[in-house]
């Protein structure tokens, strides 16, 4: 039992990253019917932005002008980086996708791939090939209850992720902006007839999705502090799997499927050697999709009505 709980906690942390990233894929898909394949690299970019913000805040704090405890630096890093990374998402939408709004879907898909490559290699060109070490912001403490050991960082990562998901849920359900996002997911074409600009809502979803990816990037940096320009590729693909598995365009589904992916990977790794972890984990997911081709919460029909 203790063994199971231990891994459950690990899986929750691992799944948090997937879930936060998957939400961005899912939101953008739901309003624009577009898979933003650059999203994994926005996660990477957010992580690097977090690295610089944290380093800057540490340096500022070290000068003694505004001495800040580690937890405050972490909190500020998350908030500032989410804010800054949202503009990366806005730029990607504005420069990459908007000119192709009327173009064939395949063009938009390769645009995402190209933007991803540009972000990766741009990072490489700017910062060089050496990896960055995400700074230690909070001292790790381990608590043990009934044979299960939990670190404060794990609790923090899961709690922050859940809080962000709850915030997103409330935003989508309770605000007029969220209402417009839901309406656009249902029927893109007539949204302007409500006096709502499609571009504004598109920008909004890119900004929110990118901010969540940045949060994932920083939390990932806290747990696994080595950053490299290609860290977003595999993570992005897996989170994309979660977004599809959750049901295209379903925010709740994307979050749950993100956690499910975390569970499957962690529990497969208990039984099998880690070299075959993804082989087995993703074979299981392939099997799940065979039986639920629309994912867990996806509609069997395309909710999008067009002209």
Partner 1 sequence: MLLSIENLRVSYDRIKALHGISFDVDEGEIVCIIGANGAGKSTTLRAISRLIPAEAGSKMTFMGKDLLDYPADKVVSELGISHVPEGRRLFGNLTVYENLKLATFARKNGQDIQKDIERVFAIFPRLEERINQKAETLSGGEQQMLAVGRALMSGRKVMLLDEPSMGLAPLLMMNVFDALRDINREGTTILLVEQNARMALKFASRGYVLENGNLVLSGKSEELLNNPEVKKAYLGG
Query: How many amino acids of this chain bind partner 1 (CB under 8 A)?
Result: 20
CA-to-CA distance for 120 and 127, rounded, in angstroms? 11
Interaction residues for partner 1, span 183-212 (CB under 8 A): 183, 185-187, 189-190, 192-198
Give Cα separations from 17 to 21, 63, 286, 301 (angstroms): 6, 33, 21, 29
CA-to-CA distance for 16 and 215, rounded, in angstroms? 10
Report in angstroms how near the CB of residue 143 gets to partner 1 at its nearest.
43
Q: What is the CB neighbour count within 10 angstroms for residue 103?
A: 11
**Complex with partner 1: residue 167 or 305, whichever CB lies closer:** 305
Q: Which residues contact 274 (CB under 8 A, 6 or more apart)?
A: none
**Complex with partner 1: residue 102 or 273, whichever CB lies closer:** 102
Report in angstroms how near the CB of residue 251 gets to partner 1 at its nearest.
12
Radius of gyration of the chain (CA): 19
Residue with tokens 């599809």: 244
**Complex with partner 1: residue 64 or 195, whichever CB lies closer:** 195
Q: What is the CB neighbour count within 10 angstroms for residue 301?
A: 8
Joined tokens for residue 122: 């741009």
Among 101, 105, 133, 182, binds partner 1 (CB under 8 A): 182
CA-to-CA distance for 185 and 201, rounded, in angstroms? 11
**Complex with partner 1: residue 182 or 292, whichever CB lies closer:** 182
Report in angstroms how near the CB of residue 179 gets to partner 1 at its nearest.
5
- Point out which span in 89-97, 123-131, 222-230, 299-307 binds partner 1 (CB under 8 A): 299-307
Joined tokens for residue 142: 């381990």
**Complex with partner 1: residue 124 or 305, whichever CB lies closer:** 305
CB 220 within 8 A of CB 47: yes
Report in angstroms how near the CB of residue 192 gets to partner 1 at its nearest.
3
Interaction residues for partner 1, span 12-71 (CB under 8 A): none
Interaction residues for partner 1, span 140-179 (CB under 8 A): 176, 179
Report in angstroms how near the CB of residue 47 gets to partner 1 at its nearest.
34
* Residue 133 found at the interface with partner 1 (CB under 8 A): no
**197 φ, ψ to 5°?**
-80, 125
- Interaction site with partner 1 (CB under 8 A): 176, 179-180, 182-183, 185-187, 189-190, 192-198, 303, 305, 307
């Amino acid at each position: 039992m203790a063994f199971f709980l231990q891994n459950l906690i690990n899986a929750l942390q691992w799944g948090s990253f997937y879930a936060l990233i998957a939400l961005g894929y899912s939101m953008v898909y739901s309003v624009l019917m577009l898979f933003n394949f650059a999203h994994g690299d926005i996660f990477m970019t957010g992580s690097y932005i977090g690295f610089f913000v944290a380093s800057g805040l540490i340096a500022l704090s070290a000068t003694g002008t505004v001495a800040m405890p580690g937890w405050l630096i972490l909190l500020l890093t998350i908030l500032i980086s989410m804010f800054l990374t949202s503009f990366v998402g806005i730029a990607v939408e504005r420069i990459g996708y908007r000119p192709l709004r009327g173009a064939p879907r395949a063009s938009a898909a390769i645009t995402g791939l190209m933007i991803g490559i540009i972000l990766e290699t741009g990072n490489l060109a700017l910062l060089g090939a050496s990896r960055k070490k995400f700074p230690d912001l909070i001292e790790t403490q381990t608590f043990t209850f009934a044979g299960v050991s939990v670190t404060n960082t794990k609790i923090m990562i899961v709690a922050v992720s859940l809080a962000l998901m709850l915030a997103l849920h409330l935003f989508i359900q309770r605000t007029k902006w969220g209402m417009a996002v839901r309406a656009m997911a249902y029927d893109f074409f007539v949204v302007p007839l409500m006096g709502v600009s499609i571009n504004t809502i598109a920008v909004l979803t890119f900004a929110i999705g990118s901010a969540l990816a940045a949060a994932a990037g920083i939390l990932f940096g806290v747990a696994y502090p080595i950053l490299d320009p290609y860290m977003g590729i595999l993570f992005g693909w897996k989170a994309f799997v979660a977004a599809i598995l959750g049901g295209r365009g379903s925010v709740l589904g994307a979050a749950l499927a993100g956690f499910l992916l975390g569970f499957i990977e962690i529990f497969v790794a208990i039984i099998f050697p880690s070299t075959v972890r993804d082989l087995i984990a993703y074979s299981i997911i392939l099997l799940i999709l065979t039986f639920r081709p629309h994912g867990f919460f996806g509609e069997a029909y395309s909710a999008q009505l067009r002209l």
